[in-house]
A and B are shown apart, each in its own frame.
Chain A
Amino acid sequence: MNLFSLVLVNLGRNKLRTTLTLMSVVVALFLFCALRGVLDTLAASIKVGSEARLVTRNAISLIFPLPLSYRERLLAIPGVKSVSYANWFGGRDPVDPGNFYAQFACDAETYMPIYDADVEIIAADSSAVPLPVPAGIDPKLAMFMSERDACIVGQSLFKRMKWKLGQKVPVSGTIFPGTWTFTIRAVYHAKDPAFGEESMLFHWKYLSEKGMGGQGIVGWYVLQLGDPGRAGEVTRTVDALYANSGAATHTETERAFQAGFVSMYGNVPFLIGVIGIAVVFAILLVAANTMMMATRERTAEFGVMKTLGFADATLFRLVLIEAGIITFGGGTLGALLAKFAIEGSRFNAGGFLPPMTISWTTVAIGIGVAVLMGATSGIIPALQASRLRIVDALRRVE
Chain B
Amino acid sequence: MGLVTVREVHKEYRRDTQAVPVLAGLSLDIDEGDFVALMGPSGSGKTTLLNLIGGIDQPTSGEVSVHGEAIGRLAPRQLARWRSRNIGYIFQLYNLIPVLTAIQNVELPLLLVKMKGKERLERAKHALDIVGLGDRLKHFPRQLSGGQEQRVAIARAIVSDPTLLLADEPTGDLDRKSGEEILSLLERLNREFRKTIIMVTHDPHAAERAHRVLHLDKGVLSN
Contacts and interface: CB of A to CB of B under 8 A. Distances in A.
B117 A2 contact: yes
B61 interface: no
A9 B100 CA distance: 8
Contacts of A389: 57
A178 B83 CA distance: 89
A310 B112 contact: yes
B45 interface: no
A321 to B, nearest CB: 14
B83 A309 contact: yes
B109 A309 contact: yes
Contacts of B107: 1
Given A9-B99, A310-B80, A305 B108 contact: yes
A383 interface: no
Contacts of A23: none
Given A1-B104, A3-B111, A306 B80 contact: yes
Nearest to A3: B111
B56 A307 contact: yes
Nearest to B111: A3
Given A2-B111, A397-B95, A398-B91, A391 B80 contact: no
A314 B56 CA distance: 17
B100 A309 contact: no
- Chain A contact residues: helix, strand, loop or mixed: helix
B84 interface: yes
Nearest to B54: A307
B168 to A, nearest CB: 8
B91 A313 contact: no
Contacts of B99: 9-10, 12-13
- Chain B contact residues: helix, strand, loop or mixed: helix
A190 interface: no
Interface in B75-99: 76-77, 80-85, 87, 89, 91-93, 95, 97, 99
A309 B57 contact: no
Nearest to B78: A311
- By size class, the interface of chain A is 20 to 34
B4 to A, nearest CB: 17
B51 interface: yes
Given A3-B111, A12-B99, A390-B57, A309 B104 contact: no
B83 A307 contact: yes
B97 A301 contact: yes
A308 B89 contact: yes
A51 interface: no
A121 B108 CA distance: 68
B115 to A, nearest CB: 11
Contacts of B104: 1, 9
A397 B173 CA distance: 13
A312 interface: yes
Nearest to B162: A309
A311 B99 CA distance: 21
A311 B91 contact: no
Given A301-B97, A309-B81, A398-B91, A390 B109 contact: no
Given A2-B111, A304-B91, A391-B51, A309 B84 contact: yes
A6 interface: yes
A301 B96 CA distance: 8
Contact of A391 (B56, B76, B91): B56
A29 B193 CA distance: 57
Interface string A363-398: 000000000000000000000000001110010011
Contact of A308 (B82, B92, B100, B109): B109
A311 B77 contact: yes
B195 interface: no
Interface of A: 1-3, 6, 9-10, 12-13, 300-301, 304-314, 389-391, 394, 397-398
Which 9 residue pairs spanning A and B have beta carbons closest together? A309-B84, A390-B56, A311-B80, A304-B95, A309-B83, A308-B109, A307-B89, A13-B99, A391-B57
20 contacts: A1-B104, A1-B107, A1-B120, A3-B111, A6-B111, A307-B56, A307-B87, A309-B81, A309-B82, A309-B85, A309-B109, A310-B84, A311-B76, A313-B77, A389-B57, A390-B51, A391-B56, A397-B93, A397-B95, A398-B91
Given A307-B83, A309-B112, A390-B56, 9 more contacts: A1-B117, A9-B100, A304-B91, A308-B84, A308-B108, A309-B83, A312-B80, A391-B51, A394-B56
